[in-house]
Structure formats: structure tokens, C-alpha cells
Structure 1
Amino acid sequence: MKPLLQSHHNHLPVEVFASELRQVCGLFNIEPQSSSSVINGSIATRRFGAFEAAIVDVDSVHIERDKASIRQDPGEYFFLLIQDSGYSQVQQGNNTVELRPGDMFLVDSVKPSLFRYDYGQSRQISFHIPRDEAVHRFGNVDCGVNISRDDPLWLAMYSVLKKMIDYECMDQQHLGEAFISLISAYLHTNHRVDHAEPSEQLLSKALALINRHYLHSNFSPREIASHLNISERTLQRHFQVLGETPKHRIISSRLEYAYKQLCLRKDGLLDESITDIALRSGFNDLSYFYREFRKKYNMPPSLMEQ
């Protein structure tokens, strides 16, 4: 299977690699499989829709997240691992799997796990799904879930992932939402999950509505509440578990979309003014757009061109 991404191996001291890994994925113990204090690997990040992903290249190393690491750095995420190239072995709970290119495995960051890279160079793409949001979308899932390649939903997930990577200028938000929905469908049809409470189902529906409609300038928490047949106050209460308000979620999604478009503009891949991008991102008030953009990214949109 052809890799989705190019490899970027560097020679990094173990301490540097561990520090970079912690910033992106949380605290792990790193054990090179040689006496060398240098690791041949790299760590990069990328955003797919509303979700961050880590691209981890490693060679001949064991990476463990034990109970001590979890106590020190809880890291409230689920990691969906996609083996992009090379081979690895992943262990969590009672499940141990050998991953080859294209294989997928869902890891719970609050449970001990062990990753072995004993077969030469290996690259994994790791989707980081906030735990609260994962529970709302997936229900309570057992740790260490292998996504079977024999299931047609695996092919659908892989196809959406490939499209997100190959066509960066497309609407990543909708593709990301489709990817997460496919994961949810797989888990509910193949594994025992404790179904979410009605309140969790409501939040999941609200998040899906935001992902579909946030670019519409007239879309607001009022429209979400009306669609779900609840009050705005009730809607806001459900969002408290995420540590944000519905309005903040909408604005943040618009800003992230605008940022992506400005990056394309900077690279010469998009011929639009900042005003046009702001309007297409759902902002009718340009002064508000500039203020919120500076607040989120610590610079005005115009500096994206430099």
C-alpha cells in the first residue's frame, strides 16, 4: 500500500524526541533498541477538520505510556492510529496487534499502552480526539480497538483520510466530520459500547450541526437550540463539559477555516482578499473578525502574508 505522507526522519537526541512527543501526544517513556542516545525519527502535527493529528516517524524504539506517566500527564484523548508505512506492534489492555500499512487501532490515552517499533522505519498518523467529545460520539468504548480491514467501513475511513491529505484546499471540516462519523459507525456495529445518555446524544447532535453549518454567517446558537427543540440556556449547559460555549465553538471553527484559507493565499494557491476570506468564513463584521483572529493567533490576518 502506497504511503499517504512522505517520511521525514531526523537524528534527534532521546531527550529532544521525548520532549517533542510530550508536547504533541503526552508523556511517554522512550527506550531506544540500541545503546545509542540518538533516535532516527521526527514528530509533526497537522489539522484535519476540527481534530489535531500527529505524524510520528520512528526507527527501532519502544514507546510506553505507563501508569506513572498517566498520573503525571493524564492526556484526556483517544488516539486513532493509522499505520502509514513500516510495521509496529501496539498493546493496550488484553489486545496486542501487529500493524502493517493501512491498519488502524484506537488507543485510550488514560490506559497503559506499549508501542514497539522493531522492524525498521515506521510512520504512524495519530488522530487526537478529545475524550469528552469521543464519549459523546462513540459511547464508552473498551480500550485497544483494532479496526478490521475486512469491514467495508475500514475502506470508507481510509478513503476519506486519503482525500483529506490529497486535497488540502477542500473543506477539511466536513471531511473530518465524515471521518469521525465513520469511526462511530464502526464501533457501534462491531464492538460493545455503552450508549451515550440522552444529554450526551444531544451534545453530539449539536457538534454535528456546528460542523455542517458554521460557515453560514447567520448560523448561531439560537439556530442550534431551535433545531434540537431546546432553550439556548439548556444548550449552553450541555457545552459546559467541553469547557466552552456554543458561540465560542462556532467562532473558533470559522477562525480555523479562515486561517487555513490565509495559508493557501500565502502559498499562492488562493487568489482572494482577506475581506473575501473573512466573509466566506462566516464573518460579516470585519472589525470583529480582525479582533478575534488576533486574539486566537496573536497576530492580525495581514501578517499571514509575511
Structure 2
Amino acid sequence: MQSLMTPGHRPVPVEILEAEIRRVCGSFNLEPMRRTGVVDGDVTTRRVGPFDTAVVALDASEVVRSTRSIRQDPGEYFFLLVQDAGQCRVEQGDHVAELSPGDMFLVDSVKPSTFLYRGERSNQVSLHIPRDEMMHRFGAACTGGLSISRNDPLWLAMRAVIAKMLLEEGAQAQLAEAFLCLIGAYLHSSRATGMAAPAETLLSRALAMIDRYRADPTFGPRELAFRLNVSERMLQRHFRPLGETPSHRLINRRLELAHARLSARKGDQPSEGVTAVAFDCGFNDLSYFYREFRKKYGATPGTVARCH
């Protein structure tokens, strides 16, 4: 799918990028993937019709808007988040969505939210729609987070209007009104057909925890079951539809994280880099890491680091 924008990724100190996100989007906390104090990212702004819009590029672990952040900075907007490149997992209340390029999610700024990027490059376009306007038009139907399904024809219409507003700066009042009407139509059809996002299940919570804590070498199936307040046997039963165990899922996510890190490296000493990446991605046994990595990717970690 063609990108709407082409933001740049550049090395930026974590505190500077976090300050930029707060200046443009409100109070959010940025958690980097690496311990270097630097992330690759950028935050730019532009006017899209009547909407202030942020274009955010980053390769962080996660960005969080907590209850404390909301108390410090009450939400004045709904954020229509358009995933333009890369991946992002959005968690808000009972709503969980895995965003791929083109996917959209309506974020409620007065509710806690978490955006998981897993250290992979992500580009997002965020339209800031005034909260009082949305509440006046649609009431509580737009609150609490909403995933906009690309299977709905209205999704295509919304994306087309966004692209049109990005291309034609200036008199866009009609396009903005059409866009808000499309949102209203989507909310109405969701209520009518029961398409609202389902409540978070134990499995989705388990998958979210694995993604969040996979870099912690002390985090395993037993700790996962404890945090979910279930037995390990019950946890395994919930994983059966996926055809894997919690342990296999955790190992695979650690390997994917390590592969992404190695692919992005530019160091001249790949052997030292591989060791550091292995430990940073939750492995405390190098021989086991090498064996599982080669089994999954058909190449050694050092080969992947050198090739990139």
C-alpha cells in the first residue's frame, strides 16, 4: 500500500524525541528499545484541512499515555491514527488492535493507551480531531478506542479523503466535513451490526505481555501465568488455537526482535554486536541463541549482521 507521507528516521536523543511528542501530541512517555539513550525517529507537524496533524517516525519499544499523564494533560482531542509503514500494537481499555500499513485506530485521549512498536521502524500519521466537536456530533459512541476495519467500504473512503486533504492544502472545509460524516457513518454501522471491537481475552492479554516483556530474561511462562492469575496448564490451553506453547511464542518473539536489531546494526565488530543483542533480547545462553536463530532463519546471527 502506498504511503501517505515519507518521514525521516534520524538518530535523536530519547529525551528530545519524547519532548517533541509531548509538544505535538500531549503527555506521552517514550520507552526506547536500546540502552544507548538514542532512538531513530522524527516528529513533524502539518495542517491537514482543519486538523492539526502529527507525522511520527520512531523505532522505540513503546509509547504510553498513563492515567498520571492524563491528569497532567487532559485530552482535548481524539487521535485518528493511520499506520503508514511498519507495525504497531494499540491497546486502549478492552480494545486491542495490531496495525499494519493502512490500518486506522481512533484513540481516545482521555483514556490510558499503549502503543507497542517492538523496536521496529514505524511511521504514523495522527489527525488531531477536537474532542468537543466529536462529542457534540457522536456522543459516547466515539469514546474508549475504536479500530476501523479495512474490510468496511467506509475505510477506503476515509483513506481517500485523508490522501486528498494531504495533497490539496488550502480550502478543504468540504473535505473535512465529508471526513467527519464518514466517521459518523462508520460509528453508526458498527453499532447497528455489532462490529465493535471485542473485549480483550486472556490470550490477547498474554500475547501483549509477551511482546512487552520478551527482552527480560527472567520473564517466562511461569511468570506470565502468575501475572495473568491462571495456572500454566490453563495458559497452555488458551494457546492451543495458535498451534504453539507460551514458551515457543516467547522464544520466537525474542528471535524476531534479535533479527530486527541485527539487521539494523552498522557496527564493524559483528561478533561483539551479536553477543550484546542476544543478551538485550532476553537470551542468557549464547549457544542456545545461536542454535534457535539458525533453525528459524537458516543463517547465523553473525551472517545477518554482516549482510546488513
- Normalised by the size of structure 1, how large is the TM-score? 0.60
Distance in 2 (alpha carbons) for counterparts of 1:97 and 1:119: 18
Q: Where does structure 1 differ by over 6 angstroms across 4 or more consecutive aligned residues?
A: none
Partner of 1:145: 146
Q: Which position in structure 2 is the counterpart of 1:160? A: 161
Q: Is the 8 A contact 2:80 2:127 kept in 1?
A: yes
Give the structure with the larger strand fraction: 1
Match of 2:60, SS state, is strand
After TM superposition, the structure 1 = structure 2 runs for residues 37-56 of structure 1, keeping only pairs within 5 Å, are 37-56=37-56
| Mapping for residues 1-306 of structure 1, pairs under 5 Å | 1-118=1-118, 120-141=120-141, 142-168=143-169, 171-191=171-191
1:138, 1:188 within 8 Å by CA — same for their partners in 2? no
Matched residues, percent identical? 53
Q: TM-score, normalised by structure 2?
A: 0.60
d(CA) in 2 for partners of 1:122, 1:114: 15
In structure 2, the residue corresponding to 1:120 is in which secondary structure? Answer: coil
TM-align CA RMSD: 1.4
- The answer to whether the 8 A contact 2:9-2:40 is kept is yes
- Structure 2 Cα separation of the partners of residues 156 and 105 of structure 1: 15
Per the alignment, residue 199 of structure 2 pairs with none
Instruction: Tell me the distance in 2 between the aligned counterparts of 1:20 and 1:131.
Output: 22
Opposite residue 99 of structure 2, the aligned amino acid is L
TM-aligned CA deviation for residue 48 of structure 1: 1.6
Contact 2:27 2:65 (8 Å CA) reproduced:
yes
Partner-residue secondary structure (3-state), 2:6: coil
Deviation of 1:137 after TM superposition, in Å, equals: 1.8
Gaps of 5+ in 1: 193-306
Give the conservation status (yes or no) of the 8 Å contact 2:7–2:56: no
Alignment check: 8 A CA contact 2:49 2:169 kept = no
Give the structure 1 partner of residue 267 of structure 2.
Answer: none
Amino acid at match of 2:65: R
Q: By how many angstroms is 1:75 displaced?
A: 2.4
Contact 1:87 1:119 in 2 (8 A): no
- 2:289 aligns to what? none
Aligned-partner residue type, residue 25 of structure 1: C
Q: Deviation at 1:10?
A: 1.9
The answer as to whether partners of 1:82 and 1:105 remain within 8 angstroms in 2 is yes
Q: Residues 88, 103 of structure 1: CA spacing in aligned structure 2 closer, same or farther, 3 A cutoff?
A: same
